[in-house]
Amino acid sequence: MIRASCLCQGIALEIRGEIRDLLYCHCSMCRKSHGSAFRARGRVRTADLHWVRGEAQVRYYESSPGEHRGFCSVCGSNILTRFDARPKEVGLALGILDDDPGARPMCHVFVGSKAPWHEITDSLPRFDEFPQGWAKSPDPG
């Protein structure tokens, strides 16, 4: 079990399963949404997501058609992204994790949209969009 919570602690959830496909997204929507150089996110099965408290405190913003970014309506923490086309999975913001997910980010995506003031200094693969194989389940959140 992996625990997660928002800044104000009003929202808490547990992931009873694995977090997969961890990556860093440098697209402009993720940068604005997080107020940061990039978004660190992973893929979680909706069935593995269990709310401990605060589900009603999550507000959603539809940043692209069918893509709903959920955040804490009290403290603003990014929580998860839901996809109308793929209800069986969510994109989880890794910054809210309280436990080590075990897996590590495997690449950077949308580096063509990278903030000019941010320099990527690790050796992970970099992609201008999503790497091959992601095309079948495009998952920008």
Which residues contribute to the site for Zn ion (CB under 5 A)?
A: 6, 8, 10, 25, 27, 30, 72, 74-75
Cα–Cα dist 111/2, whole Å: 29
- Secondary structure E strands in 6-138: 12-15, 20-25, 39-45, 49-53, 58-64, 67-72, 78-83, 89-93, 108-109
Complex with Zn ion: residue 15 or 111, whichever CB lies closer = 111
Complex with Zn ion: residue 8 or 107, whichever CB lies closer = 8
**Residue 82 CB, nearest distance to Zn ion (Å)?**
15
**Residue 10 CB, nearest distance to Zn ion (Å)?**
4
- The tokens for 36 are 């940061």
**Residue 76 CB, nearest distance to Zn ion (Å)?**
7
